Chains A and B, each alone.
Chain A
Amino acid sequence: MNFGNGKYQALQKIYAEQIAPATVIDMVEQSGLRGRGGAGFPTGKKWRFLASAKGNQKFVVCNGDEGDPGAFMDRAIMEQFPHTILEAMCIAGYAVGAHQGVIYVRAEYPDAVKNLQTAIDQARADGILGKNFDVDLRLGAGAYVCGEETALMNSVMGERGEPHARPPYPTEAGLYGMPTMINNVETLANIPNIILNGPENFPNTKIFAVSGAVQKCGLVEVPIGTTIRDLVENYCGGAKAGHTIKAVQIGGPSGGCIPASLFDTPLDYESLKQVGAILGSGGLIVLDETTCMVDFAKFFVKFSASESCGKCTPCRVGTKKLEAILDKITSGKGTADDLTQIKTLSQQIINTSLCGLGQSSPNPILSALHHFSAEFEAHLHGICPAGVCFQGYTITDKCVGCGLCAKKCPVGAIRGELKSRHYIDPSVCIKCGQCAKSCPVHAITGGKHE
């Protein structure tokens, strides 16, 4: 093996100091590293499961199917540090007794694919890969659900990317029926550090992909336990000028939103769960007052509905119906019964879906409904506080019933008795804005992003 100039130092250390596979697993376990893909399963424990599994062949799989909207941590690692991933996989293979690794990358990351392949070729040329351990690249064809580990394995084997029920767990019967371990890109990227600097010096950081209504968007690596406020205000510069941040969405389509009042929540697995979100893969979207929480929840439900593989009923049909109910609310036709139905149906989807995608798909809507119920209620009365929904105009209760707007309306969309509150029929309204201009008491709000 030709380790060259300073490459693969952790692997070199293992060979040089003849660290036993069991010790490597101990080190990973002691570091407290937990899966960065979303579920937060202790990595050392997973390695131990695979090491003790019986099988002629074992597989180490790197899950690079990063698909959460607003998440791009793994992409950066794969594009910029492909050798770190390979090194970690070699270490994992050594520790658990596997000789074959597979990196599953989504094809939408062409640069990551290219760089990983180049790194694999280089490592093979240097004799690091190909003897005791080899790594193959497999490309995803665009399905979000293939980030779920059982669906991912199906996809690698050329089958339809559909999850199946566990048990059997991948560490018992995974790829081609052999014991298999699936680690996320960021999880693996931490491994060489742990080996090189010792588990006690592991800084336990997490990369967040911050986007949305902040001064500075991008990747931020902070210690786990940093508060949301610290991240948003100090690392990312706080709100954009003239705006107020009202929430962050964390954990993608499986996560939830956290209102500004809870910004002192530390970013760790347990605390976030308590407030109805998850650490997830690390996508963090900052929202200010221009975002409608109902509309935002609808975006995620729509995402889950369209990315559902369609195997089980609650996820396939349930999310579609949730989307339809939210559509109804954001078009001004919602009723109080709809909110009740959302809650019941969401809980049933959580309780009965086959895989994690389905089980967590109602989280964004439930957390929005929990923390921002006033916004949902307002929609039932034809008001979108953020001015996003209805894409038209709403008469608020400031209305004095003068009837001027109804006279000005060119299409007769406004009705109401004199001296009482008037209403706009959204199905007739052409959103010209004449009513708002004519209102003497400024009771009419609306127009998208006014």
Chain B
Amino acid sequence: MKVTINNHVYEFNKPQTILTACAAVGIQIPTLCYEKSIGAIASCRVCVVKVVGRHGLVTACNTLITDGMQIITNDAEVTATRKTILELLLSDHRMQCTSCARADDCRLKRFATQYGADKNTYQPSRPLPPICKDQKHIVRDNAKCIRCGRCVRVCHGQQAVGVLGTLGRGFDGEIGCAFGDGLATTKCISCGQCVAHCPTGALVENSNLPLLMEKLSDPDVHCVIATAPSVRVSMGEGFGLPSGTNVQGKMVAALRRAGFDRVFDLDFGADLTIMQEGAELLERLKTGKNLPQFTSCCPGWVNYVEQCHPELLANLSTAKSPMGMFGAIVKTYYAKKMGINPKKIFTVMLMPCIAKCDEITRDDIRDVDMVLTARTAIRFLKQQGINLAAMPDEEYDNPLSLSSGAGLIFGTSGGVCEAAMRNIKDQLPRSIKGIVVSGIANAEKLIQQIQNGKAHYDFIEVMACQGGCVNGGGQPGDTSLIQDNLGNAKKRAATIKSMAKYNSLHKSSDNPAIQQLYAEFLGSPESELAQKLLHTRFHDRSKK
């Protein structure tokens, strides 16, 4: 079967959309509301093309090609129509492109520039709505919203949290939460997938770069930063490198040039988490209490359990997340070893995640002073005039960086479970059954099965974002024309897995730096100090 696309013949045998077919022949069609993993919404209408014999124009994102179809992607009418649609979207837009956090990867700005769309073609029809900052981590600006509906789709679909929706009707309708309340009043888990999916700056994470600059500029403050497993394969995307490029060394060099006194690898924290969580699992298997054990290193998932499934609180591993453990160790062991007053240490975490911004507001994770999402970190480095892509490769600082391959794979779905199994495989009292899920919708399905007695497991790894932290809410969005966040994440995951393969330290307990930490400071995973510093408690927040 074949179609013609602007006189170019394209042969096909699999069902596919006009959008995919055009991409296959190298013709790019602009899209705003389309993202592959959530499917076509067809609300923005900017991807319209002409199909000979069809009335009007058709949307490329959701129209399947059929044999003999004649597609025209770029004549005068199509181009003018796309420009009008962009102009309609711009007419009531808060034009703050110079200060907007998403200016560099804003799809609306990109296509508006390409099509020469003018904000002033149509007069604004309403005063700009105020910016919603009620939730600490996610800022919503409906004056930049183009009502594409992607945030709503991902919040209801993949995440099954369903706190965002469309309120009201027509031009005056807007994206918001039930009864027009703020996100803070809802059971939002701060996963940030809405932010990762937003094609404009209508949803952004809150960042406090001036505070970071203040700390970095203060000679009395010792600034340390630790980088999560999954950001070393995504940070390069902000500097024009293909997704999944390993930029570990370049990232270390860049952060050092930005003024951090120490750049650490959070994989070390991941190894530590496995030591504690593995020991905890062995103990639970021995006593048979609180099984299945759910992982708790994902703060989005912890928020979901605390708000929606308080009956599972006891099943969560009490081990802190790698970030939580790392923060505690920096301000105790590290401070003591280096002879620095812990109060003078400013700990920053470079994370793929917005829920991590929420996690540091928990009572016992306050050792971490700031979380930078990968997106914010890219913006920060650019502001500092540092081109990560042009950096030499440098090594992490010691002593809190040496890590095993097990620590690295924390960044992808399945990694925590595998790391735990590598560590305790030989000590298991019996054969156990584990399972891995990612995406809250999938987790919810699993919970239903377990609670209905249809499934039995001993150990369950849950990551709130589909595919794990490589697809986290704080990761840079896919900027390719056919946006595919999950496909991007898969490339990042593949790099992580191959990097881990070449790490000679297979399991967390092999890590000499971890062994040294236990020998010099913590004693054993069961010691009082380890329990105090590295474990946490969860709270029922379902009545919020």
The chain A residues found within 8 Å of chain B, CB to CB, are 143, 145, 160, 162, 164-165, 305-314, 316-321, 324, 344-345, 348, 350-354, 359
Contact A352-B43, Cβ < 8 Å, known A313-B85, A314-B85: no
CB-nearest residue of chain B to A353: B45
In the complex, which residues of chain B have a beta carbon less than 8 angstroms from the beta carbon of A352?
Answer: 45, 48, 56-57, 59, 81, 85
The answer, yes or no, to whether B13 is at the interface (CB within 8 Å) is: no
Contact B122 A309 (CB under 8 A): no
- In the bound complex, what is the Cα–Cα distance between A309 and B40 (angstroms)? 18
Q: Assuming A324-B125, A348-B85, what are 16 further A-B pairs, CB within 8 angstroms?
A: A162-B166, A164-B42, A308-B169, A308-B170, A312-B44, A313-B85, A316-B147, A317-B92, A317-B122, A319-B171, A321-B91, A344-B84, A345-B84, A351-B77, A352-B45, A354-B43
With A165-B62, A305-B170 already in contact, the answer to whether A313 and B146 are too (CB < 8 A) is yes
User: Separation in Å of the B175 CB from the closest CB of chain A?
Assistant: 10
Minimum CB distance partner of B165 in chain A: A160
**A-B residue pair count with CB separations less than 8 angstroms:** 99
**A350–B56 contact, CB under 8 A?**
yes
Q: Which residues of B contact A308 (CB under 8 A)?
A: 169-171
Q: Which residues 94-148 in B have Cβ within 8 Å of A in the complex?
A: 122-123, 125, 146-147
Question: What's the dominant secondary structure at chain B's contact region?
Answer: loop
Alpha-carbon distance A351/B49, docked complex (angstroms) = 10
| Contact size range, B | 20 to 34
Q: Which residue of B lies closest to A304 (CB)?
A: B170
Q: Given A313-B146, A352-B48, A352-B85, A359 and B170 touching (CB < 8 A)? A: no
CB-based nearest A residue for B146 = A313
When distances are taken between beta carbons in the complex, the residues of chain A under 8 Å from B80 are: 344, 348
Closest beta carbon of chain A to B335's beta carbon, Å: 54
By a CB distance below 8 angstroms, the chain A residues around B171 are 305-306, 308, 310, 316-317, 319-320
- Complex CA–CA separation, A305 to B168 (angstroms): 13
Is A313 a contact partner of B44 (Cβ separation < 8 A)? yes
Q: How many angstroms from the CA of A351 to the CA of B50 in the assembled complex?
A: 10
Chain B residues with Cβ below 8 Å from A320 are 125, 170-171
Pairs across A and B, CB under 8 Å, 13 listed: A305-B171, A309-B169, A313-B147, A314-B45, A316-B147, A316-B173, A317-B92, A317-B171, A318-B88, A320-B170, A321-B91, A351-B48, A353-B45
1/0 per residue B32-65: CB within 8 Å of A?
0000000010111110100000001101001000
A310 with B169: CB separation less than 8 A: yes
- Bound-state CA distance A320–B171 (Å) is 7
B81-A348 in contact (CB<8A): yes
Could you tell me the distance between the alpha carbons of A350 and B84 in the complex, rounded to whole angstroms?
A: 13
Which chain A residue lies CB-closest to B124? A324
- Name B86's closest neighbour in chain A (CB-CB): A313
Cβ of B89 < 8 Å from any Cβ of A? yes
- Docked Cα-Cα span, A310 to B89, in Å, equals 12
**B contact residues around A316 at 8 Å (CB):** 147, 170-171, 173
Contact B57 A314 (CB under 8 A): no
Q: How far is the CA of A324 from the CA of B42 in the complex (A)?
A: 26
Instruction: Let me know if B88 and A321 touch, CB within 8 A.
Output: yes
B149 CB–A CB distance under 8 Å: yes
Whether the pair A310, B173 counts as a contact (CB closer than 8 A) is yes
With A and B bound together, what is the CA distance between A316 and B168 in angstroms? 12
